[in-house]
């Protein structure tokens, strides 16, 4: 009974505050009733759903992309909503519905586990566009208003690998390590194709420059676990890895490297501020071009691609500036050179001549492109001498275990 | 005593001392509470203006809108409050017995895991039968998860706080294992919505109100728990055991049995919460599904002094603060932590006010006065 009145009072106090706030409240202008029949940037609303907040390098990268795209398109701050810390559960669906209520014409979500909830929302609100980054199901769901997007980040990883190879060569030349000690360490999240594709392309990039390179990979079993990532990196360093890279979203691995003085090729954006002595370069997906494209299409009532893959050309795959403090001399020049070859189609990241699986070069491989519970291998992806990544759907599906990469644990 | 050395007395007597109050009139205790809340709001306002430069009044307004702004927001709030209340209700009988069940998180998760298991492997069963099987097995799983530490406590007087906490980790690891077994696509660590197309094992929806069924079920549980604790012989036994084991034994209560029975009930209701989350709302399983409710539920129960009626309001308060905080972060592009700071301050003052209601602070009297006597 006493508690009852207590809460009642609190609520009353807040009500009074709200009433007092009255006309002065600017947060209240987002009620959304006036947005019916949107068509121009003036009233068009956009929603973004993020798994974590800006403390995660992954989500920060999305948030920056979202803000940049809205700025370019002239969407004012009142007309876009960014909801952070939305778990991969019913909360995602709730958030999407709230955004529909607020009048959003297009809604984006950034985390893999949001996909099913976005599909659910897309089915319920056919007039609203739902775009999901990193998802795999758009091409099989057959919904007009549900779309997937990714980028050919394997190309960015490959180029970052080139920078790693340059660094390894420098260490070998300086006599710090012997050629056969050129072992890279990689902290991955899961044994998921997106991660496999990432570390393999990174490794191929490094080995294209430093032929004796090998790589150890460890997995944390989480996309964001600062402690596990730090421990993973430390374990790799203690195991003789002389250069680290990662595909997990916290600052765990970069800070472990800075502490140990081991060079790090980062991901999702520059970590140079926290790691001035060890940060070499970072690849990242710039989501702004996709956001601009999709929002523009939604505004104009045009169809959005079911699967959209950003490339070096669209500006979706980016590399940060090289940190001269840690990188080998001539890194930027070499990257530019290889980038030009990739862009021109003269070189391919997953060239079948560049890797072997169990000692054999591949001329055919069936990948699991259509997501199903049985993990059925359904699509031939090797043609013209290379593995066609991110062509049959936007999300990566390269899941081969190539020679030269040693998986320390595969429990995740 | 009547020493003339005033300085000596001054040094001996502490600046203030604390005594337990015998009784405080309701209007007095409410004055204390209201003052605490006003003070909390003022301090939050000051912190808001200093750190963000925003108008604190409109920030409070946004919080309010985040919780109640639209019909949908009210439903979402209702869903969140209901499930939090369910976990708190589950913990209450154990806490009344002074058995510190900190394993709510694990008990909810194991119920959720068993529900998901049924949904995945028994989906060919007819829908009503499947739901009954899911319900029974998940409630049983929750009961077992709480029953294990209770058994050890009753038999060997092990520390239940540590034991129930450790059971949380076992449950989390079990869920992590099965997530890998069920993940789609391979390696992604993600189960996704279970039976998304055929909806086998999904609880039915009442009209257009997705969350109504959960809310109604939990309302029923609340009433049942109230009656159980207040009017049943079991409820009385729980209170006696909570007061003192010796008293309980003296009046012929078998303490071990009561501990086990109460914890089976506690775990069963947690299992029910897990069932409602998986079959009723989320339709998926993740290691973070319980979302800290096992611990938040402890606070809800304490705030309401373990009375189910009061817990409706304390869970409502926490649900409101949570939804309000998330709205602040979305509307003002602030980090979620900012809303959490405000929530923390408000809770701190509310809990703190209870101290002043139950205890009295007496300051040292003026030295001069004392000398005259």
Q: Which two tokens stand for residue A324?
A: 């001269």
In angstroms, the separation between the Cα of residue B90 and the nearest Cα of chain A is 19
**Mean model confidence pLDDT for chain B:** 91
Residue B6: predicted pLDDT:
53
ipTM of the complex: 0.86
Residue scoring higher pLDDT (A190 or A31): A190
Nearest to A25 among B61, B184, B313 (CB): B61
Number of folded domains that form chain A: 1
Instruction: Assign residue A249 the CATH number of its domain.
Output: 3.40.50.2300
Contacting residues for B41 by C-beta, under 8 A, at least 6 apart: A13, A17, B60, B346
Angle CA A152–A116–B117, to nearest 5: 120
Residue A205: predicted pLDDT:
97
Each residue of A361-401: pLDDT tens digit? 999 999 999 998 888 999 999 999 999 999 999 999 999 99
Residue contact A85–B326, C-beta within 8 A: yes
As a whole number, mean pLDDT of residues B213-235 equals 96
Q: Decide if A238 is inside a domain.
A: yes
Residue A240: predicted pLDDT:
96
Q: Which of A363-372, A396-405, B6-15, B224-233 shows the lowest per-residue confidence on average (mean pLDDT)? A: B6-15
Chain A residues whose beta carbon lies within 8 Å of the beta carbon of residue B41? 13, 17
State the Cα–Cα distance between residues B365 and B296, nearest whole angstrom: 42
Distance of CA A190 to the CA centre of its chain: 14
Nearest to B58 among A11, A24, A83 (CB): A24
Looking at residue B41, what DSSP letter applies? H
**Mean model confidence pLDDT for chain A:** 89
**Per-residue pLDDT for A412 more than 80?**
no
**Per-residue pLDDT for B263 more than 60?**
yes
Percent of chain B past pLDDT 70, that is, above it, reads 95
Each residue of B90-118: pLDDT tens digit? 999 999 999 999 999 999 999 999 999 99
Contacting residues for A345 by C-beta, under 8 A, at least 6 apart: none
User: Exposed (0-12), middle (13-18) or buried (19+): which is B27, by Cβ within 10 Å?
Assistant: exposed
**Per-residue pLDDT for A115 more than 90?**
yes
Residues paired with A132 in a beta bridge: A109, A148
Q: Which of A36-40, A196-200, A379-383 shows the lowest per-residue confidence on average (mean pLDDT)? A: A36-40
Residue B335: predicted pLDDT:
81
Residue contact B72–A98, C-beta within 8 A: yes
Q: Decide if A223 is inside a domain.
A: yes
As a whole number, mean pLDDT of residues A134-149 equals 95
Residue B359: predicted pLDDT:
87
Each residue of B313-327: pLDDT tens digit? 999 999 999 999 889
Q: Decide if A190 is inside a domain.
A: yes
Q: Decide if A310 is inside a domain.
A: no
Where does the pLDDT of residue B12 fall: very low under 50, low under 70, confident under 90, or very high at 90 and above? low
Chain A residues whose beta carbon lies within 8 Å of the beta carbon of residue B283? 90
Chain A residues whose beta carbon lies within 8 Å of the beta carbon of residue B73? 98
Q: Decide if A51 is inside a domain.
A: no
pTM: 0.86
Nearest to B63 among A14, A26, A399 (CB): A14
In angstroms, the separation between the Cα of residue B299 and the nearest Cα of chain A is 13
Domain enclosing residue A381, as ranges: 153-285+317-407
Q: Which residue out of A116, A379, A407 would a mutagenesis test of the B interface target, given it has the greatest number of B Cβ atoms within 10 Å?
A: A116
Each residue of B57-83: pLDDT tens digit? 999 999 999 999 999 999 999 999 999
As a whole number, mean pLDDT of residues B121-142 equals 97
Q: Decide if A21 is inside a domain.
A: no
Asked if residue A166 lies in contact with residue A328, where contact means CB atoms within 8 angstroms, the answer is yes
Each residue of B24-60: pLDDT tens digit? 788 888 888 889 989 999 999 999 999 888 999 999 9
Residue A17: predicted pLDDT:
44
Half-sphere exposure at residue A306, Cβ-oriented, CA atoms within 13 angstroms: 12
Chain A residues whose beta carbon lies within 8 Å of the beta carbon of residue B330? 81-84
Q: Decide if A109 is inside a domain.
A: no
């Amino acid at each position: 009974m006493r508690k009852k009145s207590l809460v009642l009072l609190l609520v009353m106090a807040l009500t009074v505050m709200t009433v007092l706030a009255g006309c002065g409240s600017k947060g209240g202008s987002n009620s959304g009733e006036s947005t019916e029949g949107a068509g121009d940037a003036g009233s068009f609303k956009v929603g973004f759903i993020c798994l974590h907040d800006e403390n995660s390098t992954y989500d920060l990268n999305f948030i920056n992309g979202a803000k940049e795209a809205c700025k370019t398109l002239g969407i004012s701050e009142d007309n876009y909503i960014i909801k952070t810390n939305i778990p991969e559960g019913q909360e995602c669906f709730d958030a999407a519905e709230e955004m529909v209520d607020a009048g959003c014409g297009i809604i984006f979500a950034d985390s893999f586990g949001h996909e099913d909830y976005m599909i659910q929302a897309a089915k319920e609100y056919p007039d609203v566009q739902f775009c999901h980054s990193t998802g795999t199901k758009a091409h099989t769901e057959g919904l007009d208003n549900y779309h997937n997007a990714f980028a050919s980040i394997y190309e960015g990883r490959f180029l970052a690998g080139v920078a790693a190879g340059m660094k390894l060569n420098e260490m070998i030349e300086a006599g710090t390590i012997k050629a056969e000690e050129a072992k890279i360490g990689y902290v991955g999240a899961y044994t998921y194709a997106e991660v496999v594709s990432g570390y393999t392309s990174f490794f191929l990039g490094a080995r294209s420059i430093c032929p004796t390179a090998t790589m150890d990979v460890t997995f944390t079993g989480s996309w964001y676990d600062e402690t596990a990532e730090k421990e993973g990196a430390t374990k790799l360093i203690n195991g003789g890895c002389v250069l680290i890279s990662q595909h997990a979203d916290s600052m765990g691995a970069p800070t472990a490297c800075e502490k140990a003085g081991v060079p790090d090729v980062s991901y999702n954006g520059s970590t140079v501020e926290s790691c001035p002595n060890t940060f070499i370069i970072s690849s990242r997906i710039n989501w702004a071009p996709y956001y601009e494209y999709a929002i523009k299409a939604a505004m104009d009532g045009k169809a959005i691609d079911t699967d959209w893959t950003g490339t070096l050309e669209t500006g979706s795959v980016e590399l940060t500036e090289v940190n001269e403090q840690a990188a080998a001399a001539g890194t930027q020049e070499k990257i530019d050179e290889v980038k030009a070859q990739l862009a021109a189609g003269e070189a391919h990241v997953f060239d079948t001549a560049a890797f072997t699986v169990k000692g054999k070069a591949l001329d055919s491989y069936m990948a699991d492109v259509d997501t199903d519970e049985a993990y059925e291998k359904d699509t031939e992806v090797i043609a013209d001498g290379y593995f066609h990544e991110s062509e049959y759907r936007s999300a990566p599906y390269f899941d081969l275990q190539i020679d030269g990469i040693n998986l320390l644990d595969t429990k995740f | 005593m009547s020493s003339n050395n005033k300085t000596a007395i001054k040094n001996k007597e502490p600046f203030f001392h604390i005594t337990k109050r015998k009784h405080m009139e309701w209007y007095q205790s409410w004055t204390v509470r209201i003052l605490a809340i006003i003070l909390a709001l003022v301090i939050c306002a000051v912190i808001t203006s200093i750190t963000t430069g925003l108008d604190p009044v409109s920030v409070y307004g946004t919080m309010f809108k985040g919780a109640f702004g639209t019909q949908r927001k009210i439903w979402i709030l209702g869903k969140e409050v209901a499930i939090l209340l369910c976990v708190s209700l589950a913990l209450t009988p154990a806490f009344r017995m002074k058995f510190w069940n900190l394993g709510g998180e694990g008990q909810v998760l194991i119920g959720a895991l068993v529900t998901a298991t049924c949904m995945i492997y028994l989906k060919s069963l007819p829908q009503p039968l499947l739901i009954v099987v899911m319900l029974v097995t998940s409630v049983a799983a929750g009961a077992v998860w709480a029953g294990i530490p209770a058994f050890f406590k009753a038999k060997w007087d092990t520390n239940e706080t540590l034991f129930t906490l450790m059971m949380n980790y076992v449950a989390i690891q079990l869920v992590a294992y099965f997530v890998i077994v069920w993940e789609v696509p391979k390696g992604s660590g993600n189960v996704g919505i279970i039976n998304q197309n055929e909806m086998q094992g999904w609880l039915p929806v009442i009209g257009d109100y997705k969350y109504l069924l959960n809310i109604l079920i939990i309302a029923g549980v609340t009433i049942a728990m109230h009656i159980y604790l207040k009017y049943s012989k079991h409820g009385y036994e729980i209170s006696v055991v909570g007061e003192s084991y010796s008293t309980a034994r003296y009046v012929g209560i078998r303490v071990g049995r009561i501990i086990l029975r109460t914890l089976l009930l506690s775990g069963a209701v947690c299992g029910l919460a897990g069932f409602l989350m998986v079959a009723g709302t989320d339709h998926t399983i993740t290691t973070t599904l319980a979302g800290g409710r096992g611990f938040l539920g402890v606070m809800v129960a304490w705030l309401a002094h373990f009375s189910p009626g009061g817990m409706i309001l304390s869970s409502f308060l926490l649900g409101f603060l949570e939804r309000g905080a998330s709205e602040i972060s979305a509307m003002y592009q602030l980090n979620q932590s900012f809303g959490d700071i405000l929530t923390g301050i408000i809770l701190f003052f509310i809990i703190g006010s209870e101290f002043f209601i139950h205890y009295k602070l007496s300051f040292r009297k003026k030295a001069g006065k004392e000398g005259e006597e």
